[in-house]
C-alpha cells in the first residue's frame, strides 16, 4: 500500500512530471488521435446520430429528414417490388410476391389495356398516401420537441408532394414553422431527398408497357444497349403473363411488374 | 504542492478540451453546413440518357398484325372490375364482379376502351392508355402518331444540356426540340466544349453558350483548361472519371480533359505530344479497347467505363463480353444473342416438350429467356459479318403456324363432294399458297412408292388411279398442346385430319379379296398418316425430348386380317367377313395398327438444333411480331367435312361386268345361230358359261363391299410412369416448364410450391403408386334406366327403370368413375364387346387395346360411354319369338392409371336387350353450314351436311312438302357399327330469295326398306318427323366492294419521311354491310400478304413509313362467307426537302413581283439575310402561292426568304434583290 501510495505520489510529483514531459506529450497525442479517429468513424458510419451536446435543439430540417425518410424508403421498397402499388389489387403472384398488372387483357391474341397510365405520377401518389400519417406525426413531434424546450411554436400546416426525379426522390412539405424564443426563426419549404433510381426504373417500365400495349411484347435487350447500368429481365409464365424485372446494377434498386398481352393458348385454338 | 495540483488540473483540463473539441466542432459544422434541401434537380448528362420513355425505335417501321379476331363468343364490357382492372371483357350477363358501368358489347367496340394516348400537358408526359383509364387529355391516335408525344433530342440551357424526351416536355422546359436526332446522339460531346476562363484564373470546361451566357467567361472552344496559354489555375493531373462511357482525364480543377491514355500522363519532362494532349481537345490517343487499364477509349457496346485498378486514376474500360461455358468457352460479345434449341427444329418435327429459348450476353453475364410457352414463339437467329467481326443476333418471334390451318381450311373451297366449285383454287394453287407462307409446308401422303403390293390401274394420261394420296398444309414449327388436359383443344387440333379416310374395295371369290386401295391396309399407310398427324402438333406416335416414344393413333391393323395369301404371284389381302349385306364397315377400332419403326423418331430428340431453324426476321419484316389468327379458331372435324371426298374410289361393278359378258355372249350366240355348226358350238359354250356364272352368283361370288379405313390422330400422351421427371431440372440454363415436365412422364408434375417461380421443379408425383384404379358406376339417366352394381369393381347390370330389358338400338349414355380409395383417380379406360384382350403392360408399352370412351386417350376421373345398343339379331344368344326376342350383351372395361396400374379383372357392364319398334324419329344434331348462315353473293346453291342421331333417309324442300328432293348421300347403318352421329349430305339449289327457308324431313330405319331385310318390322314402322326441320340461309344482297382506297396518285411530303403514311380502305356490301378482313401485298418488292393493322370492320388502316419511290399495293378484302373485293393503291411518294427557288423577279407597275417554283410564303427584310421569318415583311397574299408582291422601293436591297408548305427554307437568303434607283 505504502509503495503504491508512494508511486502515486511520485507520479504526481512535479519533478517526476517535469522529467517525463515527453512521455506526457506522447500520451496526449495518442489520446487525441484516438479520439479524433473515433469521432470520424462514428460520424461516417452513424450519420443519424445527432449530437445532443450543445444548447441548441436539432435543426428542424434535419429532424424531419430523419423522421420521415425511413418511411419513404419503406414505401418505395414495397411498391418497387409490387409493380408500383402499396396494396396490389389486380396482380400476379410470382415467387410469393404480388406483382401489379400494369397492362392486362384476359383474352387471348389481343393486346393489353394499360391499367395505370402515367406510372410515375401514380407512384408518387402511392408514396404520398402511404406516408401521410407519418408526416403529420413527424411535424407534431417536431412541434412538441420545441415546445418542451421553451419555444413558442407556430406551425402552419400545408400540403406536401412527392416527386420522382433522376436518381432522387424529393419530398416537399409546405409547412411553415416559426420558432420564437428571444428571437424568431422561420422555417418553410421542408424538403427531404432520398437517393433512389426509381425514376429511371419507372421510366423504363413505362416504355415496356407501351410496347406491350401496342405490339404485345417488348425487346428488352435494346434497353440494356442504351442504359449500361440497367438489367431488364423478362419471365414468361404459363398463363401468358410476362414478369418484368428492371434492376439497376450499381444500386441494386429494382422495379418489377406483370403484364399480359397477346397471350397465345397452346395450339392456337380457343382454349 | 500547489503547483502540483495546478499542473494536474491543467492536464485534466487539456484532456477534457481535447475530447470535447472534436465532438463540438463536428456539431458546429453540421449545423452550419445545412443539408442540401434544394429541390432543384441537377441534371447530369449521363443521367439524361436515362430519362423518360425509352428508346428511339430501332427502325421507324414496324408491321405488327394485332387485329381483332372474329369471336364466336359474345362479350360485354366492364369499365372497371372490383379488382381494379380496367376494360375487361366479361361473359354476357355475368357482371357480378363489375364495379363500374357494364356495356352490352365487347370492350374493343367501345370508345372509352379504345387504346389511345393520355397526355398530361402540365407535367409534359404522355402515356399509352384508354379513355377510361385516362384522367387527362386523351387522343385517339397511338402514341407514335401524336406530335406532342414524339421523342426527340431536347437542347436546354443554350446547348449545355441535352435530354431525349417528348416534345411536350421539351416545350414545357422551353428547350429546342429536334426529332431527327437519335437517342445515342443526343448527348453533349466534348468536341463541342472548350475552356471557359473566368475571373481569378478559374476555368470551367463547358460549351461556348454556357460560358458566355451563364458564366460570363471567355470561351476558348476546343481548348482544355489545362492549356498553359490560358493562364488558368488548372493543371494536368492523373485523376480520371467516366464520361460518355469512356474514361477521361481530369485536370486539377475537376474539368474534363481528353480520353485517358497512360502514355499521355503529364509530367514536366513530357514531350510535345503529351503536352499537346493537355492543351486542346483531341481524338483518343489509343485505339478503342474492350478491356484495358491503360486506355480509356472503351469500345462501344463491348466495354464500359467502370471503377477498377487502372494504371493511373480509378477507372478502367471493363470488358462486357461473355464466355459461354456451355459452348466450349466460346467468347460472345456484349448484346450478342443466339437461339437455343432442344431438339430437331422445323420440318414439323419439333419433339413434344421442346421449346425455344434465346440466350444473350448481357454485360459479362449470359442470360437465357424462354420464348412463349408451348412453342407459341420460336427463335430465329443469324450471324452478321465474318471472322472476328461476326456478331450473332437472335430474337423470339410469334409462331405463325396458325396461317397453315387457315390456308388448309380455305383450300377446301375448290373441291366438294367430287365437284370442283372454284376452278381458281386448284390443288396446285393450294399447294403454292401453302408453300408461299414462310411458316408452313406441305406434308404429303403418297403411297405410290408402295405399288408393288397391289395391282395398279392407270388412266389415259398414264397416271396411276385409285391411289391413296393427299396433301395437308401444316406448320413448320407445330405448336405444343396441353395434351394432359381433356378440356383443352388438343383433341380438336389433332382431329383435323381425322376425316381423311381411305375406302378399300373388296370382292368375294370364295373369300373376300381386296381389290383396290389395298395400300391403305399396310403399315406404310400408318407411317405416312402418322407423319401428317405429328405435323399438326403434339399428336400421334412421336417422342419427347428424352427420345421416349408413345403411340397415339388408331388405325387398321394388318394382323387382324384373317388370311394373308399369295395369289397369282402377288400378295393379296384376304378377310373372312360375311358375304352379302349392304354398306361398308370402318376398320379402325377393331384393331390397333402400328407403324413399322418407332425408333426412327428418336433421332429428332438427339439432333438438337439441326433441321431448319427459323429464319431471323428484322423488325421491318413481316412476321416479326406475328399476329393473331383471323377466324374463330375452334376447329372441329366438322369444319373439314370435305376432306373425305378427296379420296377417289372406284365402284367395282363386277356383277355388271358379268352381266355384260352374258349379253355379249348372247349376242354372239344369236349371230352364231345363223351358222349351224359354229352356232351350236358357240351356243354350247355360251350356255356353259352362263350356267357357271349363275352358280357363282348364287353362291355370292362377285359381290363387292367397301370398307373404309380410318386413321384417328390422337393427342400425344407421355410415357407411363415418372422415371425421367428429374431430368427436367438438370440444366439451369433451361429451366423446367410445366409443358416439358408433363411430357417426360404421366406422373411428372411441377412442384406446387414453386409453380410460378423462376425455377420450377419437376417431380414424380406418384412414385410409389401400385394400387390399380377402382372402377365404379357413375351416372345414368335415372328417369329411364337403372343400374344395379355388382360387388365393387366387378360390374353393373343396366336395365330399364322398371328392371326390364332395354329396346334395341336405343341410344344410351352413362359414366364410370375411377377411384383410389375415397379419392378420384385419373385413368385411361377402354372397352371391348368381347373379353380377354391383352392388358397394358410394360411388354406392350402399356398399350390399351379396345374402344375408347368419350374422353379419348386422356387421363380422366370420369369416363363417358355413349352408344346405341345393338340389334337383338346381332347378339350371340337370343330367346323368344320374332318381334319379341331378347338377348344380353356385355362390354368389358379396363382402366390404367398414371403409374401404369390396371384392373386385372375386367369390369363388366351387362345389358339386357329386347326387340321392339323404334318409336322416335331421327333428330338433327348439327349442320354445316350452320343454320342462319349467309350465302356468298351471287351464289344460289350450296352443299349441306347434316348430322343425325340415327341413320335415316332425308329430303328437303323450299316449297311444298309434296315437292321434296332427296339428300344425295346418307350414311347407312353398318352391322356392329355404333356411332354417335350419322351424316347426310346434299346440294341445295334454287336459293334465290333473300331469306331461304329450307324444310328437311328424315325417315329413320332405312334398312327396313331394303330387299334383304328379314326383321319383324315394315315400312309403317319407320318414323318420319311430321314437322320438317327449318333450316335458313340468307343471301348476300350486295357484293362486297372497296368504295375507297388511299393513297393514290402523287404524294408529296416534306423533309424526311418521319411521319407515317396510312393505307386506308373503306368497304361496303357483302354479308355485313362492309364488315370484312383486308390484307395487302406490295407488288414490288413482293413481300407476301399481310393483314391490315386495323381491320375487321368497314374501315381498314395500315401505317407505313416508306421511302421515296413508286408503289403498287394490292388489297383484298374478304368477309366471313367468302365475298371478296380487290383494289390497288398506286402512288408515288416524292419527298420535297428543298427550299423554294425564285425563278423570276421583276417590277410590275409599282411592285416588286417574285415568282417561285412552288407554292411558298415569302418574306423580305432590309438589313440582312439571317432574319427570322416572323420578323420579315410578308410578301404573299394567300398563305401559300407562287406569286409574291412587295412595294417597289428604288435603291433598296431586298433580302428575300421563302418557306414552302413543308417548311423547307433556305438557311440564308432565297434571293437578294437590289432595286434600281
- CA–CA dist B114, B140 (Å, integer): 7
Nearest chain A residue to B6 by CA: give it. A14
Q: Mention every residue, 6+ apart, whose C-beta is less than 8 A from residue B1172.
A: none
CA-to-CA dists, residue B1133 to B375, B745, B793, B1049, angstroms? 40, 60, 79, 9
Cβ of A13 within 8 Å of Cβ of B55? The answer is no
Question: Is the Cβ of B81 closer than 8 Å to some Cβ of chain A?
Answer: yes
Per-residue pLDDT at A1: 44
Read off the C-alpha cell for B1217: 434583290
Low-confidence ranges of chain B (pLDDT < 50): 32-73, 414-424, 453, 564-570, 577-586, 588-590, 622-675, 1057
Q: Which residues of A touch B107 (CB under 8 A)?
A: 113
Taking CA atoms, what residue in A is nearest to B2?
A14
Domain match, B831 and B734 both: no
Residue A72: strand, helix, or coil? helix
Please give the Cα distance from B338 to B733 (Å, whole number). Answer: 13
pLDDT above 90 for A242: yes
Give whole-number Cα distances, B69 to A256, B183, B631, B844, B1076, in Å.
31, 36, 6, 45, 11
Asked whether B490 and B481 are in contact (CB, 8 A), the reply is yes
Cell 379420296, residue? B647
Rounded distance between C-alpha atoms, residue B79 and residue B97, angstroms: 11
Q: Given an 8 Å threshold on Cβ–Cβ distance, is B398 in contact with A163?
A: no
For the ranges A172-176, A237-241, B116-120, B191-195, which has the lowest average pLDDT? B191-195
pLDDT band (50, 70, 90) for residue A247: very high
Looking at the fold, whether B1057 and B1029 belong to one and the same domain comes out as no
Q: Identify the domain containing residue B50 by its residue range.
A: 45-71+106-178
d(CA B514, CA B526): 18
3 state DSSP class of B709: strand
Q: Are residues B1158 and B1211 in the same domain?
A: yes
Sole residue written with cell 327403370: B801
Extended strands (E) in B462-579: 464-465, 469-475, 501-508, 512-516, 542-543, 549-550, 553-555, 563-567, 570-575
The number of angstroms, rounded, from the C-alpha of B1182 to the middle of its chain's C-alpha atoms is 54
Which residue in the set A210, A220, A226 is minimally distant from B128, CB to CB?
A: A210
Yes or no, beta carbons of A234 and B369 under 8 Å apart: yes
Query: Beta-strand (E) ranges in A44-166?
Result: 91-94, 97-104, 113-114, 152-156, 160-165
Smallest CA–CA distance, residue B316 to chain A, in Å, is 15
Q: For residue B735, count other CB atoms closer than 10 A to its CB.
A: 18
Domain boundaries, chain A: 2-45, 74-124+198-260
Q: Is residue B722 included in any domain, yes or no?
A: yes
A269 → closest Cβ in B108, B144, B635: B635
Give the residue on A whose Cα is nearest the Cα of B19. A35
Q: Where are the alpha helices (DSSP H) in B716-802?
A: 738-744
Looking at the structure, tell me whether residues B57 and B165 fall in a common domain: yes
| DSSP character at residue B725 | G
CB nearest B360 (choices: A12, A163, A221): A221
Nearest-CA distance from B954 to chain A in Å?
34
In sequence order, what are the residues at sequence separation of 6 or more whose Cβ sits closer than 8 angstroms to the Cβ of residue B645? B415, B416, B417, B418
Residues 331-370 of chain B whose Cβ lies under 8 A from any Cβ of chain A:
335, 337, 360, 362-363, 367, 369-370
Q: Which pLDDT belongs to residue B978?
A: 61
Contact B235, B275 (CB under 8 A): no
d(CA A115, CA B1057): 33
d(CA B187, CA B1200): 35
For residues B1132 and B1103, membership in a common domain is answered with: yes
User: Could you tell me if B254 and B314 lie in one domain?
Assistant: yes
| pTM across the whole model | 0.70
Which residues of A fall within a CB distance of 8 Å from B62? 215
* Nearest CB neighbour to B22, from listed A35, A62, A266: A35
Any chain A CB within 8 A of the CB of B32? no
pLDDT at B907: 93
Say whether both B1027 and B1158 belong to one domain. no
Q: Yes or no: say if A215 and B625 are a contact pair by the CB < 8 Å rule.
A: yes
Residue B724 lies in a domain: yes
Closest-CA distance, B1079 to chain A, in angstroms, reads 18
pLDDT at position B52, please?
26
Q: What are phi and psi of B1001, to 5 degrees?
A: -125, 145
What are the Cα distances from residue B749, in Å, to B722, B739, B765? 9, 10, 6
Residue B657 lies inside a defined structural domain of this protein: no
Put simply, the answer to whether B18 touches A32 (Cβ < 8 Å) is yes
- Asked whether residue B934 falls in the same domain as residue B910, the answer is no
Of B646, B699, B691, B690, the residue nearest B666 (C-alpha): B690
Q: Which residue has the cell 391396309?
A: B521
The answer to whether B72 and B632 are in contact (CB under 8 A) is yes
Q: Is residue B416 part of a domain?
A: no
- Please judge whether A39 and B26 are an interchain contact, meaning their C-beta atoms are less than 8 angstroms apart: yes
* Chain A residues in contact with B85 (beta carbon < 8 A): 90, 101, 104, 106, 115
Contact across the interface for A226 and B55, Cβ inside 8 Å:
yes
What's the distance, Cα to Cα, between the start and end of chain B in Å? 115
Give the Cα separation of B329 and B336 in Å (integer).
15
Residue B92 in any domain: the answer is no
Same structural domain, B1078 and B1003? no
Mean pLDDT of A168-197: 89
The answer to whether residues B118 and B150 belong to one domain is: yes
- Complex ipTM > 0.85: no
How close does chain B come to A187, measured CA to CA in Å?
A: 12
Residue of A nearest to B42 (CA): A166
- List Cβ neighbours of B610 (8 Å cut-off, separation of 6 or more): B344, B345
Contact A51 B26 (CB under 8 A): yes
* Position B154 in a domain: yes
In sequence order, which residues have a C-beta less than 8 Å from that of residue B17 and are 6 or more positions away? Answer: none
Scanning B38-159, the segments in alpha helix (DSSP H) are 45-50
The DSSP-derived string for B561-575 is SSEEEEETTEEEEEE
Contact call for A215 and B108, based on CB within 8 A: no
Do the domain assignments include residue B851? yes
Domain total for chain B? 8
Contact B81 A226 (CB under 8 A): no
A115 touches chain B (CB under 8 A): yes
Strand, coil or helix: B689? helix
Residue with cell 349385306: B581
Ramachandran angles phi, psi of B620, nearest 5°? -90, -10
Residue B929: cis peptide before it, omega within 30 degrees of 0? yes
- Residue A270 forms contact with B (CB below 8 Å): yes
User: In B, residues 537-566, which contact A (CB 8 Å cutoff)?
Assistant: 537-538
Rounded distance between C-alpha atoms, residue B554 and residue B504, angstroms: 17
Q: Which residue of chain A comes nearest to B38, CA vs CA?
A: A191
- Do B309 and B271 lie in one domain? The reply is yes
Rounded distance between C-alpha atoms, residue B721 and residue B749, angstroms? 11
Separation of alpha carbons A246 and A260, rounded Å: 17
A101 CB near a chain B CB, below 8 Å? Answer: yes
Q: Which chain A residues touch B370 with a CB distance below 8 Å?
A: 235-236
pLDDT attached to residue B326: 81
Q: Is there a domain that residue B162 lies in?
A: yes
pLDDT at B913: 92
The residues near A237 (Cβ < 8 Å, ≥ 6 apart) are: A92, A94, A243, B373, B756
Q: Are residues B341 and B243 in the same domain?
A: no
Question: What's the mean pLDDT in A2-27?
Answer: 63
Residue of chain A whose alpha carbon sits nearest to that of B318: A228
Q: 3-class DSSP state for residue A75?
A: helix
Grid cell of B776 as nine digits: 365404379
Instruction: Identify the residue with better confidence: A49 or B392.
Output: B392
State which H helix or E strand residue B161 sits in: strand B161-166
* Nearest CA-CA partner of B445 in B343, B599, B555: B555
Amino acid at each position: 500500500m505504502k509503495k503504491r501510495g508512494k508511486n502515486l505520489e511520485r507520479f504526481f510529483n512535479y519533478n517526476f512530471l517535469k522529467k517525463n514531459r515527453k512521455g506526457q506529450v506522447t500520451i496526449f497525442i495518442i489520446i487525441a488521435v484516438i479520439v479524433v479517429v473515433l469521432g470520424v468513424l462514428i460520424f461516417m458510419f452513424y450519420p443519424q446520430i445527432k449530437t445532443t451536446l450543445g444548447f441548441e435543439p436539432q435543426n428542424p430540417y434535419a429532424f424531419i429528414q430523419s423522421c420521415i425518410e425511413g418511411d419513404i424508403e419503406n414505401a418505395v421498397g414495397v411498391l418497387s417490388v409490387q409493380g408500383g402499388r402499396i396494396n396490389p389489387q389486380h396482380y400476379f403472384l410470382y415467387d410469393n410476391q404480388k406483382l401489379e398488372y400494369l397492362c392486362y387483357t384476359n383474352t387471348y391474341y389481343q393486346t393489353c389495356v394499360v391499367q395505370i397510365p402515367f406510372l410515375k405520377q401514380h407512384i408518387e401518389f402511392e408514396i404520398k398516401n402511404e406516408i401521410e400519417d407519418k408526416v403529420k406525426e413527424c411535424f407534431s413531434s417536431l412541434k412538441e420537441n420545441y415546445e418542451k424546450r421553451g419555444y413558442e411554436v407556430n406551425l402552419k400546416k400545408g400540403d406536401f408532394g412527392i416527386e420522382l426525379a433522376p436518381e432522387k426522390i424529393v419530398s416537399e412539405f409546405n409547412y411553415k414553422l416559426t420558432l420564437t424564443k428571444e428571437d424568431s426563426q422561420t422555417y418553410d419549404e421542408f424538403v427531404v431527398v432520398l437517393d433512389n433510381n426509381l425514376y429511371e426504373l419507372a421510366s423504363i417500365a413505362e416504355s415496356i408497357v407501351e410496347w406491350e400495349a401496342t405490339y404485345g411484347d417488348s425487346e428488352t435487350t435494346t434497353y440494356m444497349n442504351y442504359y449500361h447500368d440497367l438489367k431488364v429481365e423478362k419471365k414468361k409464365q404459363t398463363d401468358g403473363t410476362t414478369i418484368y424485372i428492371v434492376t439497376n446494377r450499381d444500386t441494386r434498386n429494382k422495379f418489377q411488374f406483370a403484364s399480359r398481352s397477346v397471350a397465345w393458348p397452346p395450339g392456337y385454338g380457343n382454349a | 504542492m500547489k503547483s502540483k495540483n495546478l499542473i494536474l488540473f491543467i492536464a485534466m483540463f487539456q484532456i477534457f478540451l481535447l475530447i470535447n473539441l472534436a465532438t463540438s466542432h463536428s456539431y458546429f459544422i453540421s449545423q452550419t453546413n445545412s443539408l442540401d434541401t434544394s429541390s432543384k434537380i441537377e441534371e447530369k448528362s449521363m443521367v439524361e440518357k436515362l430519362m423518360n420513355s425509352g428508346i428511339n425505335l430501332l427502325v421507324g417501321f414496324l408491321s405488327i398484325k394485332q387485329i381483332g379476331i372474329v369471336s364466336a363468343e359474345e362479350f360485354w364490357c366492364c369499365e372497371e372490375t372490383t379488382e381494379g382492372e380496367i376494360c375487361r371483357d366479361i361473359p354476357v350477363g355475368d357482371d357480378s364482379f363489375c364495379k363500374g358501368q357494364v356495356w352490352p358489347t365487347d370492350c374493343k367496340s367501345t370508345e372509352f376502351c379504345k387504346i389511345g394516348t393520355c397526355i398530361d400537358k402540365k407535367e409534359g408526359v404522355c402515356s399509352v392508355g384508354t379513355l377510361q383509364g385516362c384522367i387527362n387529355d386523351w387522343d385517339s391516335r397511338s402514341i407514335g402518331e401524336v406530335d406532342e408525344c414524339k421523342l426527340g433530342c431536347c437542347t436546354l440551357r443554350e446547348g449545355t444540356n441535352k435530354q431525349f424526351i417528348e416534345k411536350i416536355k421539351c416545350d414545357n422546359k422551353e428547350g429546342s426540340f429536334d426529332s431527327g436526332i437519335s437517342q445515342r446522339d443526343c448527348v453533349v460531346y466534348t468536341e463541342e466544349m472548350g475552356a471557359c476562363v473566368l475571373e481569378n484564373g478559374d476555368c470551367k470546361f463547358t460549351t461556348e453558350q454556357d460560358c458566355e451566357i451563364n458564366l460570363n467567361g471567355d470561351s476558348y472552344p476546343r481548348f482544355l483548361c489545362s492549356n498553359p496559354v490560358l493562364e488558368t489555375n488548372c493543371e494536368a493531373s492523373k485523376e480520371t472519371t467516366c464520361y460518355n462511357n469512356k474514361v477521361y482525364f481530369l485536370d486539377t480543377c475537376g474539368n474534363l480533359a481528353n480520353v485517358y491514355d497512360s502514355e499521355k500522363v503529364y509530367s514536366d519532362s513530357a514531350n510535345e505530344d503529351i503536352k499537346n494532349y493537355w492543351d486542346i481537345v483531341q481524338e483518343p490517343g489509343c485505339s478503342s479497347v474492350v478491356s484495358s487499364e491503360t486506355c480509356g477509349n472503351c469500345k462501344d457496346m463491348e466495354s464500359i467505363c467502370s471503377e477498377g485498378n487502372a494504371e493511373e486514376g480509378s477507372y478502367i474500360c471493363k470488358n462486357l463480353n461473355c464466355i459461354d461455358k456451355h459452348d466450349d468457352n466460346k467468347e460472345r460479345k456484349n448484346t450478342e444473342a443466339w437461339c437455343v434449341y432442344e431438339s430437331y427444329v422445323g420440318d414439323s418435327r419439333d419433339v413434344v416438350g421442346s421449346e425455344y429459348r434465346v440466350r444473350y450476353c448481357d454485360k459479362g453475364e449470359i442470360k437465357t429467356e424462354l420464348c412463349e410457352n408451348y412453342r407459341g414463339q420460336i427463335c430465329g437467329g443469324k450471324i452478321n459479318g465474318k471472322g472476328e467481326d461476326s456478331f450473332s443476333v437472335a430474337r423470339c418471334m410469334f409462331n405463325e403456324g396458325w396461317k397453315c390451318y387457315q390456308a388448309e381450311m380455305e383450300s377446301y373451297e375448290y373441291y366438294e363432294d367430287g365437284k370442283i366449285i372454284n376452278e381458281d383454287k386448284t390443288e396446285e394453287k393450294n399447294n403454292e399458297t401453302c408453300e408461299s407462307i414462310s411458316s408452313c409446308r406441305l406434308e404429303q401422303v403418297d403411297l405410290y412408292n408402295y405399288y408393288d403390293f397391289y395391282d395398279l390401274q392407270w388412266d389415259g394420261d398414264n397416271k396411276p388411279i385409285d391411289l391413296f394420296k393427299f396433301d395437308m398444309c401444316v406448320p413448320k414449327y407445330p405448336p405444343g398442346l396441353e395434351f394432359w388436359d381433356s378440356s383443352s383443344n388438343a383433341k380438336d387440333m389433332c382431329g383435323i385430319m381425322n376425316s381423311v379416310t381411305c375406302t378399300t374395295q373388296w370382292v368375294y371369290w370364295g373369300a373376300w379379296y381386296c381389290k383396290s386401295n389395298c395400300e391403305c391396309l399396310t403399315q406404310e399407310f400408318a407411317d405416312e398418316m402418322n407423319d401428317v398427324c405429328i405435323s399438326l402438333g403434339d399428336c400421334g406416335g412421336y417422342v419427347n425430348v428424352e427420345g421416349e416414344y408413345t403411340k397415339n393413333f388408331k388405325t387398321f391393323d394388318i394382323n387382324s386380317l384373317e388370311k394373308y395369301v399369295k395369289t397369282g404371284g402377288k400378295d393379296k389381302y384376304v378377310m373372312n367377313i360375311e358375304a352379302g349385306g349392304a354398306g361398308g364397315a370402318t376398320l379402325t377400332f377393331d384393331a390397333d395398327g402400328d407403324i413399322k419403326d418407332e425408333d426412327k423418331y428418336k433421332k429428332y430428340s438427339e439432333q438438337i438444333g439441326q433441321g431448319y431453324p427459323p429464319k431471323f426476321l428484322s423488325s421491318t419484316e413481316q412476321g416479326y411480331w406475328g399476329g393473331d389468327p383471323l377466324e374463330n379458331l375452334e376447329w372441329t372435324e366438322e369444319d373439314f367435312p370435305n376432306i373425305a371426298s378427296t379420296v377417289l374410289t372406284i365402284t367395282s361393278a363386277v356383277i355388271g361386268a358379268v352381266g355384260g359378258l352374258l349379253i355379249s355372249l348372247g349376242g354372239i350366240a344369236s349371230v352364231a345361230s345363223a351358222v349351224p355348226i359354229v352356232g351350236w358350238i358357240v351356243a354350247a359354250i355360251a350356255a356353259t358359261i352362263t350356267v357357271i356364272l349363275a352358280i357363282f352368283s348364287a353362291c355370292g361370288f362377285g359381290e363387292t363391299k367397301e370398307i373404309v379405313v380410318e386413321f384417328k390422330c390422337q393427342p400425344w400422351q407421355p410415357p407411363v410412369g415418372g422415371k425421367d421427371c428429374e431430368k427436367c431440372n438438370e440444366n439451369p440454363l433451361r429451366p423446367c416448364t410445366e409443358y416439358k415436365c408433363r411430357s417426360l412422364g404421366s406422373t411428372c408434375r411441377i412442384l406446387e410450391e414453386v409453380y410460378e417461380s423462376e425455377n420450377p421443379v419437376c417431380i414424380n408425383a406418384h412414385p410409389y403408386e401400385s394400387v390399380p384404379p377402382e372402377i365404379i358406376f357413375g351416372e345414368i339417366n335415372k328417369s329411364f334406366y337403372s343400374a344395379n352394381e355388382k360387388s365393387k369393381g366387378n360390374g353393373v347390370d343396366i336395365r330399364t327403370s322398371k328392371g326390364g330389358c332395354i329396346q334395341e338400338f336405343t341410344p344410351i349414355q352413362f359414366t364410370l368413375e375411377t377411384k383410389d380409395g375415397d379419392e378420384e383417380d385419373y385413368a385411361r379406360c377402354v372397352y371391348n364387346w368381347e373379353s380377354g384382350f391383352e392388358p397394358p403392360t410394360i411388354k406392350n408399352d402399356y398399350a390399351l387395346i379396345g374402344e375408347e370412351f368419350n374422353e379419348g386417350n386422356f387421363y380422366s376421373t370420369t369416363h363417358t360411354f355413349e352408344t346405341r345398343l345393338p340389334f337383338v339379331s346381332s347378339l350371340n344368344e337370343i330367346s323368344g319369338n320374332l318381334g319379341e326376342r331378347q338377348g344380353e350383351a356385355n362390354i368389358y372395361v379396363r382402366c390404367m392409371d398414371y403409374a401404369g396400374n390396371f384392373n386385372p379383372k375386367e369390369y363388366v357392364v351387362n345389358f339386357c336387350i329386347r326387340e321392339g319398334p323404334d318409336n322416335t324419329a331421327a333428330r338433327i344434331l348439327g349442320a354445316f353450314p350452320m343454320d342462319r348462315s349467309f350465302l356468298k353473293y351471287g351464289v344460289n346453291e350450296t352443299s349441306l351436311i347434316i348430322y343425325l342421331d340415327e341413320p335415316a333417309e332425308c329430303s328437303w324442300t323450299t316449297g311444298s312438302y309434296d315437292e321434296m328432293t332427296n339428300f344425295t348421300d346418307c350414311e347407312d347403318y353398318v352391322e356392329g357399327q355404333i356411332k354417335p352421329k350419322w351424316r347426310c349430305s346434299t346440294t341445295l339449289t334454287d336459293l334465290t330469295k333473300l331469306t331461304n327457308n329450307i324444310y328437311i324431313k328424315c325417315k329413320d330405319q332405312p334398312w327396313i326398306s331394303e330387299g334383304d331385310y328379314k326383321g319383324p318390322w315394315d315400312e309403317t314402322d319407320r318414323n318420319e318427323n311430321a314437322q320438317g326441320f327449318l333450316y335458313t340461309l340468307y343471301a348476300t344482297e350486295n357484293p362486297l366492294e372497296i368504295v375507297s382506297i388511299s393513297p393514290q396518285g402523287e404524294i408529296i411530303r416534306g423533309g424526311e419521311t418521319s411521319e407515317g403514311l396510312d393505307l386506308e380502305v373503306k368497304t361496303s356490301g357483302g354479308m355485313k354491310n362492309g364488315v370484312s378482313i383486308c390484307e395487302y401485298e406490295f407488288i414490288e418488292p413482293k413481300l407476301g400478304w399481310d393483314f391490315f393493322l386495323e381491320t375487321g370492320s368497314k374501315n381498314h388502316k395500315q401505317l407505313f413509313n416508306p421511302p421515296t419511290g413508286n408503289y403498287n399495293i394490292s388489297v383484298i378484302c374478304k368477309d366471313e362467307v367468302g365475298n371478296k373485293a380487290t383494289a390497288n393503291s398506286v402512288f408515288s411518294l416524292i419527298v420535297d426537302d428543298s427550299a423554294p427557288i425564285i425563278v423570276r423577279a421583276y417590277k410590275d407597275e409599282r411592285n416588286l413581283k417574285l415568282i417561285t417554283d412552288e407554292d411558298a410564303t415569302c418574306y423580305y427584310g432590309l438589313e440582312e439575310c439571317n432574319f427570322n421569318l416572323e420578323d420579315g415583311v410578308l410578301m404573299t397574299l394567300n398563305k401559300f402561292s407562287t406569286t409574291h408582291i412587295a412595294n417597289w422601293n428604288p435603291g433598296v436591297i431586298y433580302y428575300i426568304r421563302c418557306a414552302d408548305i413543308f417548311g423547307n427554307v433556305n438557311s440564308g437568303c432565297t434571293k437578294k434583290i437590289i432595286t434600281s434607283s
